Amino acid sequence: MKICLEYRNLEHDLNELIMTIEMAWVKMEGQLDSLRVLWDTIQPPLQSLYYKALSHLQTKIMTAYESVRFVHEKKQLASNLPRKAKVVYFKQRLKRIVSDLEEWQRRFDPSWYLITRIADPVVDKRLKEAILSRDPSAVRLSHMRQVIREISNRRITCPVFRSPNIIGDKRSPIPRSSAYVASYRISSRQIILDPTNFKGQTTVAAGRHPTCDLAYLLRHVEPMTFGLLKCEGVLEQAADQATQFQFIFEIPDGLSSPVTLRSLLIENPGCSLSQRIQIAKQLARSVMFVHTTGFVHKSIRPETIIVFHKTGVERLGPSFLIGFERVRKADGRTDLFGDLEWEKNLYRHPQRQGIHPEEVFEMRHDIYSLGVCLLEIAIWCSFVQESDSSLIPWSDLHISQVITDKDKRRGAFEIKRKLIHLSKDRLPSLVGDRYTEVVIACLCCLDDTEYNSFRYEQGMEDEDGVIVGVRYIENILLKLEELFI
């Protein structure tokens, strides 16, 4: 940093780059100090993940140091070079450093927030020690743990339910989604209303608790980091068979025109590979942070993935996961009510299909759904096609007969087999081996084989969900983050 600061007065446009490096350095330094304090409270699998990340950071820092030192020495040796040439050369080096540090931070953040899943109260005590050093990362992490603790103890102090009167009368449906774009009656600021769809014998209280809990948690997220929209409250609506709710989601500044991934798959056949990879990475991060907050989504499919446009930019903007229709806490009571809608079952693991699913929902069921979406994003063709007023499967799936099989369990596993075959057959030439491995890892995440990286070995306990989180980061997130077009 001392060498960088010597160049601050060379040119005004270097200031922003140097400030970015300074801010990144402060954040990393704070996180490392906090890790040092927390180290003996962290499970070995997570320690191992941090060790690899820190080794990677060490390499990045050494490369950055050598790069800046090289420029510094060149400055002294080549005094006859024009001033602008020196500045341009130094600026290029700084840009590379910024890119490297931002990439490392992007890869590290999911594992950092996984600390929220550790139940050990000693973690909170140690975080308080880190907060005394004014580490903003520790403050944010501590705050999230406090929110999760309040939810667990039913001590939510901030009301999340809002009066329907604050929302204007006009509500524009987002095509191929159950969500709406609306606006506040007074400020006219646009928002998204995302309804729940609790089924079966779900009581008002049983639906209200997870809805309230999730809304409270989502008040504290960073949308661009988490891939989840900030929640500004909940509306309660009386329905014919059960009381339902609507999440009020903030639309981040500079974003507009939300569309579902389903609409893009159907209407935008020319999406570039780089944009597809971007959507895949953002979706994988969204799934990770839902798990980090202690919830399972249960409805991940293209209809619940919203993509925005950035004002004044042609390419697609960031994407976010919505559609929290039947969300619940990961350790909460699950319902075993399902449906027979093939277009939804296509994204569900065979164990979670039908009117009465066999298994209690867990994070790995969300990971399976992610795998189907990643496959669809890679091929960039909607698996659910529109024909007149009905929905039909994409012909290349070859499941038209399978979805009519009277033995629904047999049909579900046959669809899974076809999806895996399609991944192995189509993806290597489209998106490469690494992306293909990620998709297959997702689709096989509940298989009882030694090749399944998410498989729980006999006697292994994962009460906090940390181990599956670590494996998700190692086998899904980090592999996707390594992809660059």
Residue in the block written with tokens 């990643």: 374
Q: Rounded distance, CA 398 to CA 418, Å?
A: 8
> Residue type at 402?
V
DSSP three-state, residue 172: strand
| Three state DSSP letters for 212-256 | HHHHHHHCCCCHHHHCCCCEEEEEEECCCCCCEEEEEEECCCCEE
- Residue 195 belongs to some domain of the structure: yes
Residue in the block written with tokens 């027979």: 340
Residues 378 and 299 in one domain: yes
The predicted-structure confidence for 363-408, as pLDDT tens digits, reads as follows 899 999 999 999 999 999 999 999 888 999 999 999 999 998 888 8
- Residue 355 belongs to some domain of the structure: yes
Which tokens hold the place of 238? 């009386």
- Residue 155 belongs to some domain of the structure: no
- Residue 399 belongs to some domain of the structure: yes
Q: Rounded distance, CA 87 to CA 14, Å?
A: 8
The predicted-structure confidence for 166-206, as pLDDT tens digits, reads as follows 999 999 999 999 999 999 999 989 999 999 887 755 556 67
Residues 98 and 172 in one domain: no
- Residue 361 belongs to some domain of the structure: yes
The pLDDT value recorded for residue 83 is 60
- Angle formed at CA 119 by CA 117 and CA 121, multiple of 5 degrees: 130
- Residue 384 belongs to some domain of the structure: yes
Backbone angles phi, psi at 372, to 5 degrees: -65, -40
Q: Is the pLDDT confidence value at 336 over 80?
A: no
> Residue type at 453?
S
Residues 71 and 194 in one domain: no
DSSP three-state, residue 67: helix
- Residue 130 belongs to some domain of the structure: no
Q: Rounded distance, CA 278 to CA 313, Å?
A: 15
Q: Is the pLDDT confidence value at 213 over 60?
A: yes
Residues 323 and 418 in one domain: yes
DSSP three-state, residue 231: strand
Which domain CATH number covers 379? 1.10.510.10
Residues 94 and 198 in one domain: no
Residues 293 and 433 in one domain: yes
Task: Tell me the CB-side half-sphere exposure of residue 89, using CA atoms within 13 A.
Answer: 16
Q: How confident is the model at residue 461 (pLDDT cuts 50, 70, 90)?
A: low
Helix H segments across 293-407?
342-345, 363-379
Question: 369 CB contacts (<8 Å, ≥6 apart)?
Answer: 297, 299, 300, 301, 347, 348, 349
Against a cut of 0.75, is the pTM above it?
A: yes
Length of the chain: 485
Query: Domain count of the chain?
Result: 2
Q: How confident is the model at residue 91 (pLDDT cuts 50, 70, 90)?
A: confident
Domain that includes residue 84, residue range:
2-116
Residues 110 and 172 in one domain: no
Positive or negative, the Cα torsion across 80, 86, 89, 93?
positive
The pLDDT value recorded for residue 237 is 80
The pLDDT value recorded for residue 194 is 95
Nearest Cα neighbor of 480 from 373, 362, 401 is 373
The region of weakest confidence among 74-83, 354-363, 459-468 is 74-83
Which tokens hold the place of 20? 């970015």
Residues 78 and 203 in one domain: no
> Residue type at 67?
S
Q: Rounded distance, CA 264 to CA 271, Å?
A: 8
Residues 88 and 237 in one domain: no
- Residue 415 belongs to some domain of the structure: yes
The pLDDT value recorded for residue 76 is 56
Residues 94 and 170 in one domain: no
Residues 442 and 333 in one domain: yes
DSSP three-state, residue 329: strand
DSSP three-state, residue 102: helix
